[in-house]
Chains A and B, each alone.
Chain A
Amino acid sequence: MTLALGTGAILLVVLLWELVRPTLKRAVTRGREIWSLRRGASTLSGYDPGRERRAEQRARALLRSCVDERDWAMYRDLGFLRVWGGLGERGRGKHASYAYLIYPHKPVVAYVPQTGALLNEYCVAFPDLSRPYGSSRLPDSDDVLAKWMALTADERRLIADANMHLPGRQIDPGRVRRDLLRLARWEQERDQEPLGRDRRGSDHAATLQA
């Protein structure tokens, strides 16, 4: 009796093993593949925070050298740039019928400066497909500069290349409204300050940031 039960148990274990073995083998192989892929990817990309910080510093310096002093100060203080729309009836400038907010690695947001009404989100990216260091993503300030150059040079083309969505698709409309209030306050304060003092302050802050 004991012998029969023992033999039965052994047979059961062997049968179960035969059933489970292919699945187990596949799982182990897949696990090894995933592990080696992850290891390979991290070796290739080799994310280095120091390198990324240096890249961002270079990008900030380039952005600063290309845009107006006021626009640079806006980006430094608020984290975004405002570009006046140039295709409306009123032309480009502070009386433009619409404007854009440029955020790093986020959609460009179009709005009406007079009312603060949000118009659209234009989702656009500048992926470098050569992927140096394993990433196609430009430093934040390079992304802002690329959008600024494309918008001021050929607004119609950039808008045509972008994916257009209603406000709120990617950026919280509440955040954009808060940013517009911050921008209005910032401009008011800046316009009230004596020119010399303001410039000196900006340069000092930029030096500290660098």
Chain B
Amino acid sequence: MKLLRMKPGHGEIVLAEGDVRVPEQERELIEAFRRELDAGMWAAVPTGTPGGRREAELVKNFAEVPREAERVIFFPRAAGGAPGATHQR
């Protein structure tokens, strides 16, 4: 499993990588996961539906991450933006 984080000016960076079946590596993944959530990030796991459509799942703790997930993507939390702006052509 890889923990990725979107970063301005860079694209995604790999925060941690490990096998959840190995306790030591799982502990490192959990620590990195907590650090990002404490920093105010949202965590999403890209998934697929039974119909074959792709979507994502937001997770709030490591236990919610499917064991077979390959990636967890962290990104800054949503904020309402530009309330006073006018349209651009």
A interface residues, Cβ below 8 angstroms from B: 48, 51-52, 54-59, 61-62, 65-68, 71, 107, 123-133, 135-139, 142, 145-146, 148-150, 152-154, 157-158, 161-163, 165, 168-175
Contact = CB atoms under 8 A, between A and B. Distances in A.
A154 B42 CA distance: 12
26 contacts: A54-B11, A55-B10, A56-B11, A62-B4, A66-B56, A67-B54, A123-B82, A126-B6, A126-B77, A127-B81, A130-B39, A132-B7, A132-B9, A137-B8, A138-B6, A138-B8, A138-B75, A149-B75, A150-B42, A152-B56, A153-B57, A154-B58, A163-B80, A163-B81, A163-B83, A174-B89
B66 interface: no
B32 to A, nearest CB: 16
Interface residues of B, number: 34
Tell which of A130, A149, A168 has the most Cβ of chain B within 10 Å. A149
A159 to B, nearest CB: 10
Interface of B is mostly: strand
Contacts, number: 149
A126 B9 contact: no
Interface string B8-51: 11111000000000000000000000000001101010100000
Interface of B: 4, 6-12, 39-40, 42, 44, 46, 53-58, 73, 75-83, 85-89
